[in-house]
Amino acid sequence: MIVLTATRIDVYGHFEFKIEGDGIDAAIITRDSIKAAKILFNLGVADPLQRVEHAREWGSVEIFPPHS
């Protein structure tokens, strides 16, 4: 499981993204939503941009690997 957390950092709508979970040695933190999506893509996550948007809206998203 991967956990993507989005924390609002100012009144202008900027966020800090934290990516943690399986296959990640240390938490990855970035303020760049595109970079966060690229990291998720490289981890094999489907629809990474949509997951980043969901995290912005909900604060945190749990991403489970697809069943084999």
The predicted-structure confidence for 12-67, as pLDDT tens digits, reads as follows 999 999 999 988 999 999 999 999 999 999 999 999 999 999 999 999 999 998 76
Residue recorded with tokens 């990291």: 39
- Within-domain flag for 46: yes
| pLDDT on residue 44 | 92
**49 falls within a domain:** yes
Does residue 19 belong to any structural domain of this protein?
Answer: yes
Total domain count, the chain: 1
Q: Which pLDDT value is given to residue 30?
A: 98
Q: Could you read off the pLDDT of 9-19 as tens digits, one per residue?
A: 999 999 999 99
Which pTM was predicted? 0.91
DSSP calls for 1-68: -EEEEEEE-STT--EEEEEEETT-SS-EEES-HHHHHHHHHHTT-SSHHHHHHHHHHHSEEEEPPPP-
Domain range for residue 51? 2-63
Q: Is residue 68 part of a domain?
A: no
Residue 39 within a domain: yes
Q: Residue 67 has what pLDDT?
A: 63
